Each structure stands twice: as structure tokens, then as C-alpha cells.
Amino acid sequence: MKGTNGRRAGLSIVAVTLLTGVAGCSSGGSGGSGGDGESSPSSSSSSSKGGGTHVSPIAALRTAEKSTDGADSAKVESTTTMGSLMAMTADGSLGWGDGLTGTLTITYTGGTMADTMRQLGTTSMEARYLPDAYYARMGDVFAEQAGGKHWIKYPYEALETLGGGSGAYLKDQMENSTPNQSVKLLLASGDVRRVGEETVRGEHTTHYSGTVEVADLATRNSSLTDSQLADLKKQLEQAGVTTETVDIWVDDENLLVKKVEQGQAANGAYNQTAYYSDYGTLVDTEVPPAADTADFSELLQQQGAGPTS
């Protein structure tokens, strides 16, 4: 019985990790636009720096979205909080030139998730993203309850079979977690505004902000296609989000260097802050050894808790 309980706890953790880990990459404890040595916003419009003076915020962000998408890879550093459920950090590199790839170290620093992870022997895990699946490496205590295997594989297609719409949401998040998604979300807000010029970790940037009203995504003029708006609306609705504020900072190369998303979801208030740097960095992610990998769907079926339609 003890072994079964251990497996159930571990599977629960990784299921949530799929959501919070990806969100942190795309995915902050501190939140907001201050801190980290950043300057206060400047209302000056005389500079030609920061994503295009004399250019409308919508036009500037459309350029930033294309530039960030075309950069193919970046180093990522993020923090995420979600109610009393969890506080976590993520650090590593992601690539999106040909499907999502990359490796992140995810550490739970607070909340019930951190408490449960400690029971499994570690508060940190390695996450690997490959075009067809997500892999999470748990600790030795978990492996003892999973046939000696440390890695759990989540095929994206299999996620769709999870009940309650959560599987489809996770699949969408996993396959659409690139930095430019935050720019698309801000474009979809319909009220995007240029806050001013600020310094972020020593880089000159332009700060843009907006509030996303999920119910209005299909009707606001955001310069996104109908299908893009529908996808964004579906993802937010499935997460229980009705309103979200989005702030992004774009450097002089029209690349996203920081983003903050704050709102209320089904699991409580959340706050995500992510920093992006070293665009174009080499990302070389290997599939974990098959002999040390368990499939998530198979583990669920072994417990009599298989996917529901």
C-alpha cells in the first residue's frame, strides 16, 4: 500500500508540473515591473531605441513577435507562483525552430507542491522537452515506487485523452510555449500601450502592457488571425482564466527579454515572470534512456486511473 501511495503522489506532482513548468517557460515570484535593478519607466519619445519610436505599439509588437519567433532558441530563467499550490523556479534553454526542444531545471520553493516533492526526496527535477513528448526526471525515492525508473514520459498526443479538458490544455501549452506567445497574448488584449523605456538587467528596453479580457478575445481588433485568437481563448478558458495582465519588455533588436503575466486561475492567483537571453543559443536535447523511462499513461493504467474520454 505504501508503494501505491508513493506512485500516486508522484504522478500527481508530475501532472501539475506539466502545467506549471510550461507556463513558467513561456515560463514569478516577485512579479510586477520593478526590481532586479531596473529603472523606472521613461515617458521620453525622442529616443530611436526600444522597439520603434514613432511606431504604434501594435506595429512594434508585431515586429517583436516575428523577430522573437525567428530567433529559434534562447536561455530562459523564470519564477512562478500559483496560490498556495506552489512557488517554483525554472532555468535552462529552449529551442523552437523545429518543434519545442530544450532542458530546464525546475525547483519547487514553496507551497503544497514543494511539501510533496520533499516527501519524494527532492524539490528539484530535470525537464526535457522534445517535439513529441515531455520528460520529467524524478528522484530516487520516486524511482523505488516506479519499478526503478527515474524518468516519466508524457507523449503530447496522449495528453488529449485526459478528462475534463485538462489534457487538451496541457497539450496546447506544451506545443505553444515559445517566448513569442506572450507577445501574441498582449496583441490579443486589444488595449496594448507603450509604458516607456526601461533598463532590464543592463539592457535598454521598451515596456508594453495590456489587460486580456478572455471573453473579448474573439471580438477585439488585435491584428491576430481568427484561429490564433480562438487558440488563445481556448487555452485561457481551460485554465479558468477570465482576466490577465501582461507586461513585456522588448530590446533594441526587437527581441523579448522579459515578460510578466498575472491573473486568477482555477488554482488561485498566479504570477509568472520570465527572462530571455542569448537568443540563438545551441539547444541539444537527448531522449532519456528507454530502460530508465516509464510512460505516464501506463503508470496511470497500472493504478486503475487511466485516461478518461
> The dihedral of CA 147, 286, 155, 109: what is its sign?
positive
Q: Give the span between the Cα atoms of 37 and 127, in whole angstroms.
A: 29
**Residue 171: predicted pLDDT:** 63
| pLDDT score, position 138 | 85
Instruction: Please state, in angstroms and rounded to a whole number, the distance separating the CA atoms of residues 116 and 85.
Output: 10
Cell 477570465, residue located: 242
- Residue 308 confidence (pLDDT): 44
CA distance 160 to 18: 13
Which residues sit opposite 105 in a β-bridge?
91, 126
HSE value, Cβ hemisphere, 13 Å, CA-based, for 78: 31
Nearest to 256 by CA among 264, 265, 266, 247: 247
- List the pLDDT tens digit at each of the 309 positions of the chain: 444 444 444 454 454 444 444 444 433 322 333 334 454 444 333 333 444 445 799 999 999 999 999 999 999 999 988 888 889 899 999 999 888 899 999 999 998 888 888 887 889 989 999 988 889 898 888 888 788 999 988 888 777 666 545 555 566 666 667 888 888 888 877 778 999 999 999 999 999 999 877 666 655 544 556 776 676 677 667 666 677 889 999 999 999 999 998 887 766 788 889 999 999 999 999 999 999 998 887 776 665 544 444
Integer Cα distance of 137 and 151 in angstroms: 4
CA distances from 145 to 2, 137, 207, 259 (A): 9, 14, 48, 38
DSSP 227-293: HHHHHHHHHHHHTT-SEEEEEEEEETTS-EEEEEEEEEETTEEEEEEEEEESTT-----PPPPGGGE
Quote the cell numbers at residue 66.
516575428
What pLDDT score does 173 carry?
63
In this structure, the chain runs to a length of: 309
Beta bridge partners of 256: 250
pLDDT of the residue at 251: 97
Q: What is the structure's pLDDT at 243?
A: 77
Instruction: List the grid coordinates of 219.
Output: 471580438
